[in-house]
Chain A
């Protein structure tokens, strides 16, 4: 892992070496050094000047970015750049790490999610999460999907619950494969099916945003393709923020892309623009495979 000193070394050429910051990139408001437009016209979630510390170490440095309705925002960057850390701020999963400290402002539809009055349970019901490694509960397929609605009291009758389970599995594109084995353990499915089960599980509580932390890194190419299709379909109803190591994946599934480097948000923009015409040298180096 790179330490702080190396970080300075790596960053300094981009800052000092020639290339005056491209003027049109900084379009408006939040005071940030990020290149490109971090805001959107109608955000569902806004983050402003977010810093994350693990004990003494700063993992995220002054990140501001908006998330729009019905968009897929991909976050890319080399290992250890803080993209997963930032993702976990969005549903306060970092709360579980004792040494983690988050400052700055993160708002979900205008409500500060780090406010004392915000209930983390409600927040996580609205901002669902899919993890790197498929982690279905060691219970039946049905129970996996029914768990969220059950704890949040979303279904009053068994029939309602059955319907939620079926709809969620259908949306996750898993229904046809598992409809005859709903009572079998979720852990018995294949890796790709497990990940889709986890997606079904999180959409069962009908969230606004789904966070995906490298959802395909443990899957084979076919399962990956299936999940990518699914992400595209889910965009009709949800906002999705996806962290990925695969630039092709980011290019395929997302509308906007954010490039992180050592805790800094370097560049944000339309995916097509970022991939064809990155403004920052760091972004370009990463995308062209010069490091990463």
Chain B
């Protein structure tokens, strides 16, 4: 019996369909693995980080004792600023737990309250000196150990010697909790403060502002330079050995490890040009060097995608080369250029290695007030916190990562939106 052509095709067809089904399943498996990894990442970060958005506060009935704050009753701001507000808190705590007599125990008792409470009380008095002599109910941040216990990160079943909080301290905390003097509140400090050695006082605002200044410098430098370079290379430069060389080098630069740009920044901007260390200005300069190739490559791709018919149309009308570019090509290429730039900026926002080299890894408490102030950036802040031993910094590390991811998602979303909104079709 002979096989007809149709039979042969049929036999072959089954094989082809099987291959197609196999190929599809490979694809599905790959997508599933990718999604699972992403899901795991997000669940892990959110699971660890979300508790950092709350912080335990302690209710204290603080007696603003005039004898301690302002014995002479001058209400002199100097005196008010120098007064020992710690004494007020200590006194309040002693009154709250009258059974504690021993000096060492007292010290432990005072430690349940964050050192930041002192500044809170001080601020209250500075803002309203009439408080002196009265007794006020004040919610002050609890120490990070208390916070950890309340959030369930300290295991009460562990032997006392292995625990950060001893039985006595736990008993005090429980007693505070029983009288509803402990409360988890929204952690405003985390979003408004700079870095701190005390987890309950540490915030990301300093890093956010540092990142902002750094990115502004990066954007201001890399966008115009990148676009001008791309336009020149794409529209005006003749094709010859020099432009080929430049093109190859731009592509190479895009692949240079970012820490190398950090070393370059260290030797050129800090050592040679003597610019300030740890400053967002230098960070921005270094990151622009890193972002420029990305912006140039994206901009060139975007220029290349403008159809030649538009250029011919403009030139055929008697437009000069410059008019053709400015009136027709650039407007059409702009969405692509902006998208490329935003993606480059998102990369710069997530970059830490080159910034370590120029000193943006320092411990800086103050929120920077300009691009010349020492500061750090979000990813470096995450790196710094990840390095600290306190348990409370673990959740803050994850929370800061969440904030960074949120910024990145917003930036990439903006890129997608821009592309969709302004994309031209022919």
Listed in ascending order, the chain A residues whose CB lies under 8 Å from chain B are: 91, 93, 96, 98, 121-125, 128-129, 131, 133, 135-138, 147-148, 151-152, 187, 198, 201-202, 205
Contact = CB atoms under 8 A, between A and B. Distances in A.
Interface string B4-30: 000000000000000000000000000
B159 interface: no
A106 to B, nearest CB: 17
Interface centre among B314, B318, B319, B323 (most CB of A within 10 A): B318
Contacts of B424: 138
Given A98-B238, A131-B309, A151 B315 contact: no
Interface centre among B239, B311, B312, B426 (most CB of A within 10 A): B312
Interface string B204-227: 000000000000000000000000
Given A98-B239, A138-B424, A138-B426, A147 B317 contact: yes
B426 A147 contact: no
A187 B327 CA distance: 16
Nearest to A207: B318
Contacts of B307: 135
Which are the 7 A-B pairs with shortest beta-carbon distances? A135-B309, A129-B316, A124-B318, A125-B318, A135-B313, A148-B317, A121-B318
A135 B424 CA distance: 14
B332 interface: yes
Contact of A198 (B311, B313, B320, B327): B313
B316 A202 contact: yes
B328 interface: yes
Given A135-B310, A151-B323, 10 more contacts: A93-B312, A93-B316, A98-B238, A124-B315, A128-B316, A137-B328, A138-B310, A187-B426, A201-B317, A202-B317
Nearest to B312: A131
A251 B316 CA distance: 27
Interface centre among B312, B316, B323 (most CB of A within 10 A): B316
A272 B43 CA distance: 81
B317 A124 contact: yes
A217 to B, nearest CB: 14
B272 to A, nearest CB: 40
Given A98-B238, A151-B323, A187-B426, A137 B313 contact: yes
Interface residues of B, number: 21
B234 to A, nearest CB: 13
B81 to A, nearest CB: 65
A123 B318 CA distance: 7
Contacts of B426: 138, 187
13 contacts: A124-B318, A125-B317, A128-B316, A131-B316, A135-B310, A137-B314, A137-B328, A138-B332, A138-B424, A147-B317, A147-B319, A151-B323, A205-B318
A61 B319 CA distance: 30
Contact of B320 (A96, A121, A129, A133): A121
A152 B318 contact: yes
Contacts of B314: 137, 147
Contacts of B313: 131, 135-137, 198, 201
A96 B309 CA distance: 12
A27 to B, nearest CB: 34
A128 B314 CA distance: 11
Contacts of A201: 313, 317
Given A138-B424, A138-B426, A205 B317 contact: yes
Contacts of A121: 318-320
